[in-house]
Structure 1
Amino acid sequence: MPDYIKQALPQQERDMSAIEHTARSMLADIKQNGDAAVTRYAEELDKWQGGEFRVSEDQIAAAEASLPETFKEDFEFCHRQIVDFAKRQLATLIDFECETEPGIFLGQKQIPIGNVGCYIPGGKYPLVAAASMSVGVACAAGVDHIIGCAPPRDGKEMYAPTLYALHKAGAHEIYVLGGIQAMAAMAYGCVGMHAVDLITGPGNAYVAEAKRQLYGTVGIDLLAGPTEILIIADDTADPELIATDLLGQAEHGPDSPAWLVTTSKHIGEETLKHVEVQLKTLPTKSVAGPAWRDYGEIVVVADTDEAIQISDRYAPEHLELMTSKDDEYLARLKNYGSLFVGEEATVAYGDKGIGTNHTLPTSGAARYTGGLWVGKFIKTVTYQRLKKSASRDIAPVLARQCEVEGMLAHGITCDVRHVRYAGAND
């Protein structure tokens, strides 16, 4: 039976009706009124004063010139790690054709999506690394045309590091546009954009709701909620380091859960002390403090089995291991967005550019999906082809299956081939 040293406060289910209504109204308005509606919302919500939404080559050059070489070098390193890992993932997706029965050939092909729109949020934390995670990975997948979008920081311009990152990551067109209006513009093809087939990127609750409602009109990567971290630790772990990593994720927002599951009560108690000490001097304590107060948990479990059971039930976005049995946990854990094995690894590495993607499932979605990866920009499709004799021989079997299901017209398509190829000898 787990013992909670600290438990999250009871949370009421958030009423999303107002957000749903706002997103639905804005999407309908933009679908009907196009550029005029997009411009109106950009002016109202982003205080847009910049004229053309599409970023010019001169603006890209100016942003690049304004940035220090250390940033450019660091970005290049991180971008290279992300794209290289994506290419290695791509190599695991193969085309093949096999003969399953004499004369019956089934195949699989990998086809990149044609047009993709990638959104980079620009709120409290402009997620510059998201350019490589989305645009860069889409390029690695072979996507034909990629649009990058990010909101203005001052009503006129995109944050220079974000603009630089979108350009270097390979976006074919870049637009200064944020929020629901950006999602709608990419989906419907407004303000000079090509309508895309898939939109990706994190954002606030309004952006997430817009993506949810646009699904079907376009594909989406996934619906992300508040970021979360879970750490599994035993008596060999350093409680000061555990506290640092918990707070490192809690700074994302006041509703970001941070959980510790430990087989050691001593480690749990010491971690709680270190969290309280570190919060006193943490630069982002105004955000991380409420997140820890309301959503932080420390739970003591009996053994490895119970730790795995609880972790898989939580299905965390980020899962760190600080134990003497990391390999066993790696082999047995099933539900997580990304796993950080050993104290040498940390979520910040994955968030910023070690190579694995940072767009990951939250709110328990890791029970049924992984995160954004090169395969999200690829359609795995299948095909069949048959020799005439094979079509004749299989026709009666499949015609009877059609008859069982009451699909008589389907059955006729089988029957005519049985007759048509009666004398076939290939």
Structure 2
Amino acid sequence: MVARRLKSPAVTSVDNAATSQKVSEIVKSVIDDIRANGDSAVRTYSEKFDKWSPASFKLSDAQIQEAIAKVPEQTISDIKEAQKNVRIFAEAQRASIKDVEIEIQPGVFLGHRNNPITTAGAYIPGGRYPLLASAHMTILTAKVAGVKHVIACTPPINGEIPNATVAAAHLAGADEIFILGGTQAVAAMAVGTETIRKVEFLAGPGNAFVAEAKRQLFGEMGIDLLAGPTEILIVADEHADAFTVATDLLSQAEHGPDSPAVLITNSEQLGRQTMHFIEQQLKTLSTAHLASVSWRDFGEVIIVDDMDEAYGLADEYASEHVQVLTQTPRDALENMTNYGALFLGEKTCVSYGDKCIGTNHVLPTRKAGRYTGGLWVGKYLKTQTYQEVTSEKASGELGKLCGRCARAELFEGHARSGDLRDSKYLGVKYDWIEQAKQ
């Protein structure tokens, strides 16, 4: 049976070609200007886009402490608790990554080391919401990986320093904090200016301009992901609570007007009840001006025959967040492979992952979960191989093999490197060596 839809999206794509082209052009011009003119261009765009032009974009130690002092004690305590959870999980991930060295044959050693990136940038959004948790996810994870220097950039909010975000960045371990947002922040960290150090890797979510800047600068620096709007997909069976389903779908729809929220269920009754409760909750939700647009334009409710079909369809969506509200939620671990992160059971909501449970909230969107996972300590590590041959016999034999392999590909220079070891260590004669030494 083909899945039936109780609700289809009103908009079929979150992309608009004309808008995307305009964003791309604006971003390129900003990057080119900052590349050519450094700090003066950064200041120009900060004034233009954020109406922000302080004496220094970098916060002094005194300014950081002043900002922290303005944050309520409970918020500071909550930041520390959330960061403790992130740190525990990140440290467990780091401990799982091992250096390797093996002797594949007598005298031939192969290995790899997991070396941290030296300098990383963290972009912490602050447009609609001050995303404190992004500081935990980007800065703290980098520090656990061993990154020596982390630069944090976050925009002003309504012309003011975002004190709670500054507190989160400082407590996460940021070495420098700049109140700077948008394309100008990304470009400055990527190319370097007189006052902003060039980074080797940049992580963190952002709006369309930030995402486009990361796309254009990828290669010049590494990036975590090319992320789009937040997504949620809920797989629910007939035992799920419709009010919970509705609440959790709206929790992600409020991110912005283009955040897909999808329900896949084997129960038409659950689907209809969920739609009813969504409409009821939108009447009182303070962010309904965003969530209602997302639900109207990108919301879906799909009815399937059974849970096997539900998991199969969910895998096709490859959503950023997949919440499983069934009697046996761990079935998803065996039945799904395409997702950013799984949230198993009613006691586990996506918002926990966004804010405080400890897993990273920087996750793949737009079906990128088919080929990559989210941000984690491993993204800040370079797994770099090395090799050493200590046996003359082994080097000679490898030289003989290398010569044959290289000549099969018509690489004579490569072959001669192998020949030379074969000649040196095993005494094999090669005409080209004799001729070259004359």
Shift of the alpha carbon at 1:381?
A: 1.0
Report SS of the residue matched to 1:123.
Answer: coil
Corresponding residue of 2:70: 66
Corresponding residue of 1:115: 119
CA distance in 2, matches of 1:335, 1:402: 39
Structure 1 position 419 matched with structure 2 position 420: no
Structure 1 position 233 matched with structure 2 position 204: no
**Residue 315 of structure 1 is aligned with which of 309, 313, 318?**
318
Shift of the alpha carbon at 1:10?
A: 3.8
- Is the Cα contact below 8 Å between 1:361 and 1:369 reproduced in 2? yes
CA distance in 2, matches of 1:140, 1:89: 9
Report 1:83-162 matches (<5 A): 83-155=87-159, 157-162=160-165
Report 1:337-376 matches (<5 A): 337-376=340-379
Shift of the alpha carbon at 1:399?
A: 1.3
Which residue identity is paired with 2:16? R
CA distance in 2, matches of 1:49, 1:383: 48
Report SS of the residue matched to 1:299.
Answer: strand
Shift of the alpha carbon at 1:191?
A: 4.4
Report SS of the residue matched to 1:380.
Answer: strand
Corresponding residue of 2:205: 202
Which residue identity is paired with 1:33? N
CA distance in 1, matches of 2:331, 2:53: 56
Alpha-carbon displacement from aligned partner over 1:362-413 (angstroms, at most 9, x marks no partner) = 1111111100001001011111111221111121122111111111111111
Report 1:385-400 matches (<5 A): 385-386=388-389, 387-400=391-404
CA distance in 1, matches of 2:27, 2:53: 23
Corresponding residue of 2:84: 80
- Is the Cα contact below 8 Å between 1:330 and 1:341 reproduced in 2? no
CA distance in 2, matches of 1:230, 1:297: 9
Shift of the alpha carbon at 1:423?
A: 5.8
Shift of the alpha carbon at 1:154?
A: 3.4
Corresponding residue of 1:4: 5
Report SS of the residue matched to 1:259.
Answer: strand
- Is the Cα contact below 8 Å between 1:189 and 1:196 reproduced in 2? yes
Alpha-carbon displacement from aligned partner over 1:94-140 (angstroms, at most 9, x marks no partner) = 00111112221110110000000101011001101111100000000
CA distance in 1, matches of 2:239, 2:392: 67
Alpha-carbon displacement from aligned partner over 1:158-182 (angstroms, at most 9, x marks no partner) = 2000011111110111111110110
Shift of the alpha carbon at 1:280?
A: 1.2
Shift of the alpha carbon at 1:49?
A: 3.0
Report SS of the residue matched to 2:120.
Answer: strand
- Is the Cα contact below 8 Å between 2:237 and 2:267 reproduced in 1? yes
Corresponding residue of 2:295: 292
Which residue identity is paired with 1:357? N
Shift of the alpha carbon at 1:325?
A: 2.5
Corresponding residue of 1:268: 271
CA distance in 1, matches of 2:284, 2:53: 38
Corresponding residue of 1:14: 16
Which residue identity is paired with 2:135? A
Instruction: Structure 1 unaligned segments of length 5 or more: list them.
Output: none
Which residue identity is paired with 1:4? R
CA distance in 2, matches of 1:234, 1:304: 7
CA distance in 2, matches of 1:208, 1:328: 34
- Is the Cα contact below 8 Å between 2:237 and 2:307 reproduced in 1? no
Corresponding residue of 2:434: none
CA distance in 2, matches of 1:93, 1:126: 33
CA distance in 2, matches of 1:126, 1:58: 22
Corresponding residue of 2:432: none
CA distance in 2, matches of 1:285, 1:151: 24
- Is the Cα contact below 8 Å between 1:53 and 1:191 reproduced in 2? no
Alpha-carbon displacement from aligned partner over 1:39-71 (angstroms, at most 9, x marks no partner) = 111111111131111101111111111111111
Which residue identity is paired with 2:414? H
CA distance in 1, matches of 2:194, 2:261: 41
CA distance in 1, matches of 2:281, 2:21: 38
- Is the Cα contact below 8 Å between 2:122 and 2:203 reproduced in 1? yes
Corresponding residue of 2:433: none
Shift of the alpha carbon at 1:262?
A: 0.4
Corresponding residue of 1:223: 226
Moved over 6 A (4+): none
- Is the Cα contact below 8 Å between 1:150 and 1:158 reproduced in 2? no
Which residue identity is paired with 2:335? R
Instruction: Structure 2 unaligned segments of length 5 or more: list them.
Output: 429-438
Which residue identity is paired with 1:203? G
